Amino acid sequence: MMQKIQRFGAAMFVPVMLFSFAGIVVALGSLFNNPTLFGSIANPGTAWNSVWDTISAGGWTVFNQEGILFTVGLPIGLANKARGRAAMESVITYLTYNYFIGAMLTHWGTAFGIPNFAKIQIVANSTNSGLTNIAGIKTLDTSILGALVVALIVTWLHNKYFDKKLPDWLGTFQGSTYVYFLGFFAMIPLAIVTCWGWPKVQMGISSMQHFIVNSGAIGIWIYEFLNRVLIPTGLHHLVYIPFQLGPAVVAGGLQPYWLKHLAEYAASTKPLSQIASVEGFQLYGNEKVFLVPFICLAFYVTAKKNKKKQTSALLIPAALTSVLAGITEPIDFTYLFAAPVLWIIYSVMSATMNTIMYLFGLRGYMCDGAIGIASMNWLPLWENHWKIYVMQFIVGIICGILTFFIFKFMIEKFNYITPGREADDQDVKLINKKEYKQKMSAKAAGKDASDPYIARATAYLDLLGGASNITELSSCATRLRVSVADPSKVAPDSQFKANKAVNVVHHGKAIQVIVGLDVPQVLDEMNQLMQQSGNTAKVSTEQDNPYIERATGIVDLLGGDSNIKDVIACSTRVRAHVFDTKKVAADSEFKKIADSYEVQHKDNNEIDIVVGLDADQVVDQMKQLL
């Protein structure tokens, strides 16, 4: 179980690694577009503002597309094989899931409690009645939670069924197509459950707002706690947006209310708790500035000695992103799923710290990192309100130190797999895979019926002269493309055909083994067997251009490039003139190897191969080969 948790945590970190750089970009955009620091050149409409706003827009890409990012990233970390295909299967299934939700709410929105689904317009900085746009699809806002559920389902389907051998007449549907077929129908009940249950969860959050507003310090604590603990579900948007930009406390929202009265607050010597009494709900940037750096420190202190350097390289930019830009995802998702108890502790400490600051009289708009807090609080109000800000730093640092010791104790006590404490995944994975593959390879000859891919992969490796003889390996739609060091070590074509190869094409050190529609699975098994043997050859699991395959096959069947005088595309035909018709293969070979419909022999050594509407593309590739 612990190994599975470790693997899941590592998979979660695949997309999270992008957050640090994106956070720094956003922070720079916020910094350079602050009129308080840069004067009138940073005002909207100036060239300076436009440039930095454009840069910031690019930086927000990672954060605005978190759902898709995790949908793609999780299979890359969790798929046992063909990870690129697993990522493709996951993202198309995730989009299908959201299309199902959108269609269901369009037709039966009333039954699910969203009668005006079709009329609701998705706008920025709004709860949008719990809706959002994902890749242009209007759907329920399930944040990364929905993405993770879909990605886990697809990854499980991929690991279990990607290699499933279907009957030959269904061969075109195996592999990724079969996984998507299963995922497609799995998304229907999942979408129904989401449409039925998620709006109820969202409504429960909304109804709690009324209690929070009228409960003083208790309400502040609940608000701050929910605003942090609900981040993984995306429901925190329903908590803070009605306060920050909606009418939960004041008309128009607390953010514009604060900015509208900022000059008044700066000029007054009265305590902020008196002149800005309603502004106590927007203090949740403090945990980003004061708590996250100490959490990073706890991770570093508890990391293994041999991983401290690597851990610090990850944590330092992530901590700076949190402190400066107020973006905590690079830290949050490194331990959120591996040690959820720590996430609860962090949420409790955040709420407690902000409530203590509130009780001491702190008010303001402090939702971002230090850059945002300074520009909208410390810099304009320091002259008359510096005492409250000194208190803010004292409380923040004390709470940060407490958080550090609590995290350190919990991590060491319960051996949580936080950054720097995971096992050496690469070594463990290679050892386990090697042992597993050795057992499978030993039984390969007797497992042809139950696992044909391993049997064929093992046979082809031997026939190609062994793994050490292979320098490059890739595939087309139906054939393996191999570069070998010594062509003399390659076995006769008849032995390949005895192991279910359709044919073999030779071009010096370049060998093509025509496998059929099973080529992705055979290639993946060959790749793993080669890694087991220590071969460092270049392996690509992505298929080459299918037109290259047909073009190469036709060139071979026409007797090779030296036998071809010229070639043109004529409607649905490849029309070639050859020097010696005796070197041209039998018509049946064209149909079997080049997927041709018909071959016609005419005068002047002209050969017409009917290939279909792809004739132009095939000829283009043939000309490049010639």
Q: What is the DSSP string of 96-126?
A: HHHHHHHHHHHHHTTTTT-TTGGGPPP-TTS
Task: Examine the domain organization and report whether 505 and 520 are in the same domain.
Answer: yes
Q: How far apart are CA 395 and CA 392, in angstroms?
A: 5
What pLDDT does 278 receive? 86
Task: Examine the domain organization and report whether 570 and 506 are in the same domain.
Answer: no
Task: Examine the domain organization and report whether 515 and 453 are in the same domain.
Answer: yes
From the centroid of its chain, how far is CA 600?
A: 50
Q: Is 247 exposed, middle or buried (0-12, 13-18, 19+ CB in 10 A)?
A: exposed
In the predicted model, what is the mean pLDDT of residues 418-426?
A: 66
Share of the chain above pLDDT 90, in %: 26
Strands 470-475 and 137-140: unpaired
Answer whether residue 516 is part of any domain. Answer: yes
Q: Is 476 an annotated catalytic residue?
A: yes
Q: How confident is residue 445, by pLDDT bands cut at 50, 70 and 90?
A: very low
Task: Examine the domain organization and report whether 457 and 475 are in the same domain.
Answer: yes
| pLDDT for 598 beyond 50 | yes
pLDDT in tens, 318-335: 888 889 888 887 788 777
pLDDT in tens, 394-406: 999 999 999 999 9
Q: How far apart are CA 267 and CA 446, in angstroms?
A: 86
Q: Is 570 an annotated catalytic residue?
A: yes
Helix axes 425-442, 2-16, angle to 10 degrees: 120
What pLDDT does 17 receive? 63
Alpha helix locations (H) across 486-518?
Answer: 493-498
Q: 């793993």: which residue's tokens?
A: 528
Task: Examine the domain organization and report whether 567 and 508 are in the same domain.
Answer: no
Q: Is 256 exposed, middle or buried (0-12, 13-18, 19+ CB in 10 A)?
A: middle
Q: How far apart are CA 351 and CA 358, in angstroms?
A: 10
Q: Considering its fold, how many domains does the chain have in total? A: 2
Answer whether residue 614 is part of any domain. Answer: yes
Helix or strand run (H / E) with residue 482? strand 479-484
Comparison of pLDDT for 438 and 600, the residue scoring more: 600
What pLDDT does 301 receive? 93
Answer whether residue 11 is part of any domain. Answer: no
Q: How confident is residue 37, by pLDDT bands cut at 50, 70 and 90?
A: low
Task: List the domain range (segments joined by +) for residue 472.
Answer: 448-541
Beta strands in 70-134 (DSSP E): 131-134
Number of helices (H), then strands (E), belonging to the chain: the values are 28, 11
Q: How far is CA 285 from CA 247, 266, 462, 535, in A?
A: 21, 20, 61, 51
Mean pLDDT taken over the chain: 81
Comparison of pLDDT for 436 and 415, the residue scoring more: 415
What pLDDT does 124 receive? 65
Tell me the whole-structure pTM to 2 decimals. Answer: 0.53
Q: Is the dihedral of CA 163, 165, 170, 172 positive or negative?
A: positive
Task: Examine the domain organization and report whether 476 and 525 are in the same domain.
Answer: yes
What are residue 504's DSSP bridge partners? 513
Answer whether residue 581 is part of any domain. Answer: yes
CATH at residue 464: 3.30.1360.60
What is the three-class DSSP state of 594?
coil
Task: Examine the domain organization and report whether 506 and 478 are in the same domain.
Answer: yes
Q: How confident is residue 245, by pLDDT bands cut at 50, 70 and 90?
A: low
Q: How confident is residue 379, by pLDDT bands cut at 50, 70 and 90?
A: confident
pLDDT in tens, 58-97: 887 877 787 888 888 888 878 887 888 899 999 999 999 9
Answer whether residue 500 is part of any domain. Answer: yes
pLDDT in tens, 145-170: 788 899 999 999 998 898 888 887 77
Q: How confident is residue 431, by pLDDT bands cut at 50, 70 and 90?
A: very low
Answer whether residue 24 is part of any domain. Answer: no
Which of 217-226, 328-337, 611-620 is least confident?
328-337
Phi, psi of 542 (to 5 degrees): -90, 140
What are residue 510's DSSP bridge partners? 483, 507
What pLDDT does 200 receive? 81
pLDDT in tens, 253-269: 787 788 778 878 888 99
In the predicted model, what is the mean pLDDT of residues 207-232?
A: 85
Task: Examine the domain organization and report whether 572 and 618 are in the same domain.
Answer: yes
Q: How far apart are CA 296 and CA 404, in angstroms?
A: 8
Answer whether residue 53 is part of any domain. Answer: no
pLDDT in tens, 169-188: 777 788 889 999 999 999 99
Answer whether residue 606 is part of any domain. Answer: yes
* Of 479, 512, 541, the domain-final residue: 541
What pLDDT does 410 receive? 95
What pLDDT does 269 receive? 92
pLDDT in tens, 489-511: 888 888 888 888 877 877 778 78
| pLDDT for 348 beyond 90 | yes
* Of 515, 541, 567, the domain-final residue: 541
Catalytic-labelled residue, pool 195, 367, 399, 476? 476
Q: How far apart are CA 537 and CA 471, in angstroms?
A: 5
Q: How far apart are CA 98 and CA 87, in angstroms?
A: 17
Which of 267-271, 382-386, 430-434, 437-441 is least confident?
430-434
Q: How far apart are CA 67 and CA 139, in angstroms?
A: 12
* Of 511, 541, 571, the domain-final residue: 541
From the centroid of its chain, how far is CA 270?
A: 50
Q: How confident is residue 420, by pLDDT bands cut at 50, 70 and 90?
A: confident
Q: How confident is residue 447, by pLDDT bands cut at 50, 70 and 90?
A: very low
Task: Examine the domain organization and report whether 522 and 589 are in the same domain.
Answer: no
Task: Examine the domain organization and report whether 537 and 452 are in the same domain.
Answer: yes
